Structure 1
Amino acid sequence: MPDVPPLHLSAIDSHAHVFSRGLALASERRYAPDYDAPLGDYLGQLLAHGFSHGVLVQPSFLGTDNRYLLSALRAVPQQLRGVVMLAPDVEPHTLADMARSGVRGVRLNLMGQALPDLTSGRWRSL
């Protein structure tokens, strides 16, 4: 990839979703969207409102399949960061790969669930 000059930081949108109706949905979900939210539209919204950067958050209805979000981060690495959803037993190399792609946070989707024991060995390693 050619060297791309860094964008001037003007404002950061801290929570947005990108997805397509054609993606595989999580088996346990509260809803399924009936529209698409493509990366190009999101980038256009950032530009139209004077935002230079954004944070993409994994939609709950896609569960832990973060491939679409990761693809978006890789498409515009100088402008986007991400928050993924993970199973607690995710492999360290997967986390490292995600970090290189711009992931900076993990989302715990706990709607309607009891809070897990985040001090247990299962969560501690994450």
Structure 2
Amino acid sequence: MKRDAAQASLQRDRDRDDARGVRLRPKDFAGYWVKNLPPEGLGDGITAACFTIPHDGLVDDLKQFIARELTNPHFYLPMRAFRLTQNGEDKPPVTKLSAIDTTDLLTFEWVEPYSSENYPRLEYRP
């Protein structure tokens, strides 16, 4: 059975795809999984999440996105308070995201002054 020109030019029904849980990712974006996140920031005790950002950015862009995208409005996470590692190797802020293997999880780690017991590592907004 042949498809006519009207059928061939119809766009996909994105509402239907969203209802099935299918999320379409733009071509220039990539998903980066990060584990060991602070459960206070994401809520419900969630400690791992996937962040979708432009693939041509830097690790610093991903850190900024993580700090901004936390769902708990009372939790404040400064970018200087954490670093990202992969397989035990620290990822400096100027590392290109395109050089990071997306099949391995990145690990959220507190920076030393924030992880000590003398300094509260979690900051809350009033």
What is the TM-score normalised by the length of structure 1?
0.23
Bigger radius of gyration: 2
What is the TM-score normalised by the length of structure 2?
0.23
